[in-house]
Copies of this chain bind each other. A is one copy, B any other.
Amino acid sequence: MSDLTHFNQQGRAQMVDVTNKETTFRTAAAASSVRVNQEIYEKITAGEIGKGDVLGVAQVAGIMAAKQTSTIIPMCHPLPLSGVDVSFEWIVKEQTYTLEIATFVKTTGKTGVEMEALTCASAVALTVYDMCKAIDKGMVIGPTYLMEKTGGKSGDFTRENIE
């Protein structure tokens, strides 16, 4: 449906009625990133080898935020998530240090988990920022976007590259 479906007949917001949607298996994958300076890059990666684990804390934050999505995003339906996963990859080139964040969320429900995947990715990135901001406040988060979704009446979606 190609409409701003969250608005009721008085023109205001509502949590749209999904009663008649089918309960099906649905997945979503989202991406975000944090661009950091060399010092932060070196401290995070060194921390991983030892025991201090910025990414470990960020991952927990992301999983907990995924479960809170419907309390953070006003018109989002509560969904019983059946799996949440977060992975990281460092892209280092020409003095730029970018932590790529990928999130994967699954449910069996009446609406998709796009927002859960995006909220998870955002919380992961924010937590990395929080834990490193004593070194440099110039970190940049994102772009944050949906990479893929499957399931549901609107069909599958795969994002073409972000240029």
Contact = CB atoms under 8 A, between A and B. Distances in A.
Interface residues of A, number: 98
A71 B119 CA distance: 14
A114 B126 contact: no
Most chain B CB within a 10 A radius of its CB, from A44, A137, A162 = A137
Contacts of A81: 15, 77-78
Interface in A35-87: 39, 43-44, 47-48, 50-57, 59-61, 63-68, 70-87
A144 interface: yes
A59 B60 CA distance: 10
B149 A43 contact: no
Contacts of A137: 114, 146, 149, 157, 159
Contacts of A75: 57, 63, 127, 130-131
Contact of A57 (B55, B60, B160): B60
Contacts of A70: 67
